[in-house]
Chain A
């Protein structure tokens, strides 16, 4: 397999009033295409900071992050936004669907932004909503969906532009155990179908489902394991 993501000695400091918070203290990491990686660790260890950097929604204070061979930390706002649109899918803990749009419209939003035609958007959104078992909920708005259903719509939205990397930040954090298990199964299926998945989680079940687990503490990777490997 080829390397999809390469992070080298990544540091991220957040300036506060008197002293900077060192969220990441020199993290290096490689993720190959088709991997299913879970990042785990206690709160405040830098998991979400690392995910934000891997998703190009934040830039490192020092070090570099290459995704598909491009150093995303050096891209301008327009380029990095376009990069996120076409190469990265995001799933958030709180789903963050637009409440004013239907499930289908939410899924179509990134495609519309990418300039995909209306017919193709419709076809792709139908395909994705079928994939996440929500073919009968296309016209429902988020408020009419359960938490698990909303997260599945969010996953379909993240997959809309066929990203090479799917990032999820505590995707089961707002869900009950049974619904969380459905989402875990969905991520496993996505990875089995070829999607590279990186999840940040406290959920042991979700971490166990990953094929590689990275443990973090105090802004550093302290253990990188392949369970059963």
Chain B
């Protein structure tokens, strides 16, 4: 009966209730987006790092993956040493370089990854065959669009360019054997994957048997610390970045986003709270007579409080549910805009939907609804019956 009364009270002034629900929905959408923003990018990055199961990245000492031209020498030996460890399941050596696709007098520069196709963790093949043969390449859609190439085409690709002489070096004919989605690259970044040996040969003596990065997958994630310790001893010129290390660095860099989203989320929550409190207070003030009569005919103070709190809660829950949908739509739109942020992997989501985020937003707003109803409810339930009835009669 209390729920019936609460809902009927809300229906009494439909326009006002609808406007309040919309207000709460907007606050809820904002809150959800902020919760998604505060946790989404971190979680998205973690998922991306672990998407192919590689728990460790090995880079030249003092560098981050691909942030300098530095490379690791004697890559074959390092690979062999790593593969010899019983904890290691897979080792993926990667060489990063810029290559130039020659088209008459002009060229198109693209990022190239030299990979071992049997062990690579950088792309997912979408069409054609993997680049297992020498002098083949795998390209992403942006590259194929830019070069007007298709799977099966042969391209002339050079690894070096002298800007003064305007001549290319390390030139080869490479066959486009497949099309792939590259996991760690930014939106609209042109990219190809070339067999590691082919790319090393194209780049000449400077890159002979060198790689930019090793990605290492362990059989047991709990062994990361042990393997890290061994690498630091056995391979002192190499830095180890575990997923946990990478996440710690990401956390440092995302502190700004988290603070911003926490502040905006708190503001949304306060706005929602004030909106519901105002509406419930106004509604209670309008029906003081009814409430006092309910008390007079024997409705308990607790039940009056419950009914009014239910009104606030119903407003908040309805708004929160609508707001969840609205928040997901706006998050998708904002994600599209932010994913064009330069230098970030296209696979990173700023707003990653996690059920926990939605439940958090709904839960917080529901709690707000309960709290928002408490004050007007208690005020209404505490009205002196005889005095209020007298005032109502005079009014």
A residues with CB within 8 A of B: 14, 48-49, 52, 55, 57-58, 77-78, 81-82, 84-86, 88-90, 92-94, 96, 98-101, 105, 108-110, 112-114, 157-158, 161
| Known contacts A96-B289, A100-B9; is-contact A157 B390 (Cβ 8 Å) | no
Contacts of B8 in A (CB 8 A): 98, 100-101
B297 located at the interface, meaning its Cβ lies under 8 Å from any Cβ of chain A in the complex? yes
Task: Report how far A108 CA is from B4 CA in the complex, Å.
Answer: 12
Contact between A109 and B296, CB atoms less than 8 A apart:
no
A-contacting residues, B217-262, CB 8 Å: none
Contact between B385 and A105, CB atoms less than 8 A apart:
no
Contact between A113 and B11, CB atoms less than 8 A apart:
no
Closest-CB distance, B34 to chain A (whole angstroms): 36
Q: Which of B12, B289, B300, B387 contacts A82 (CB 8 A)?
A: B300
B294 located at the interface, meaning its Cβ lies under 8 Å from any Cβ of chain A in the complex? yes
With CB as the reference atom, state the residue of chain B lying closest to A86: B298
Contact between B1 and A57, CB atoms less than 8 A apart:
no
Q: Which of A52, A113, A157 contacts B386 (CB 8 A)?
A: A52
With CB as the reference atom, state the residue of chain A lying closest to B11: A100
Contact between B298 and A81, CB atoms less than 8 A apart:
yes
B residues with CB within 8 A of A: 1, 4-5, 8-9, 11-12, 289-290, 293-301, 303, 385-387, 389-390, 392-393
Contacts of B298 in A (CB 8 A): 81-82, 84-86, 88, 110, 113-114, 161
Task: Report how far A14 CA is from B391 CA in the complex, Å.
Answer: 13
Contacts of A86 in B (CB 8 A): 298
| Known contacts A49-B386, A58-B385, A109-B1; is-contact A96 B290 (Cβ 8 Å) | yes
Contacts of A108 in B (CB 8 A): 1
Most buried by B among A57, A92, A161: A57
Contact between B300 and A81, CB atoms less than 8 A apart:
yes
- Further 9 A-B residue pairs, CB within 8 A, beyond A84-B298, A99-B12, A101-B5: A78-B300, A85-B297, A89-B297, A96-B290, A98-B8, A99-B290, A100-B9, A101-B8, A110-B297
| A-B pairs, 10 with minimum CB distance | A85-B298, A100-B8, A58-B386, A96-B293, A112-B1, A57-B385, A52-B386, A84-B298, A57-B296, A81-B300
Contacts of A90 in B (CB 8 A): 293, 296-297
Q: Which of B4, B12, B303, B389 contacts A113 (CB 8 A)?
A: B303
Contacts of A114 in B (CB 8 A): 298
Contact between B386 and A81, CB atoms less than 8 A apart:
no
Contact between A81 and B295, CB atoms less than 8 A apart:
yes
Contact between A81 and B389, CB atoms less than 8 A apart:
no
Contact between A113 and B293, CB atoms less than 8 A apart:
no
Task: Report how far A99 CA is from B291 CA in the complex, Å.
Answer: 12
Contacts of B290 in A (CB 8 A): 96, 98-99
Q: Which of B4, B9, B301 contacts A77 (CB 8 A)?
A: B301
Contact between A158 and B12, CB atoms less than 8 A apart:
no
Contacts of B11 in A (CB 8 A): 100
| Known contacts A81-B301, A84-B297, A92-B293; is-contact A113 B1 (Cβ 8 Å) | yes
Closest-CB distance, B219 to chain A (whole angstroms): 63
Contact between A93 and B300, CB atoms less than 8 A apart:
no
Contacts of B387 in A (CB 8 A): 14
Q: List, sorted by A's number, 27 A–B pairs whose CB atoms are closer than 8 Å.
A: A48-B390, A52-B386, A57-B385, A57-B386, A58-B385, A78-B300, A81-B295, A81-B301, A82-B298, A85-B297, A85-B298, A85-B299, A89-B297, A90-B293, A92-B389, A93-B393, A94-B289, A100-B9, A101-B5, A108-B1, A109-B1, A109-B294, A110-B299, A113-B299, A113-B303, A114-B298, A158-B297
Contacts of A98 in B (CB 8 A): 5, 8, 290, 294
Contact between B5 and A157, CB atoms less than 8 A apart:
no
Task: Report how far A84 CA is from B251 CA in the complex, Å.
Answer: 62
With CB as the reference atom, state the residue of chain B lying closest to A105: B4
Contact between B297 and A52, CB atoms less than 8 A apart:
no
Task: Report how far A158 CA is from B290 CA in the complex, Å.
Answer: 15
Contact between B296 and A55, CB atoms less than 8 A apart:
yes
Contacts of B385 in A (CB 8 A): 52, 57-58
| Known contacts A84-B296, A92-B293; is-contact A100 B301 (Cβ 8 Å) | no
Task: Report how far A32 CA is from B386 CA in the complex, Å.
Answer: 24
| Known contacts A52-B386, A100-B11, A112-B1; is-contact A81 B299 (Cβ 8 Å) | yes
Task: Report how far A92 CA is from B4 CA in the complex, Å.
Answer: 24
Closest-CB distance, B307 to chain A (whole angstroms): 11
Task: Report how far A161 CA is from B298 CA in the complex, Å.
Answer: 10
Contacts of B386 in A (CB 8 A): 49, 52, 57-58
Closest-CB distance, A143 to chain B (whole angstroms): 11
Q: Which of B299, B389, B390, B392 contacts A109 (CB 8 A)?
A: B299
With CB as the reference atom, state the residue of chain A lying closest to B390: A48
Contact between A57 and B300, CB atoms less than 8 A apart:
no
Task: Report how far A55 CA is from B9 CA in the complex, Å.
Answer: 27
Task: Report how far A108 CA is from B2 CA in the complex, Å.
Answer: 12
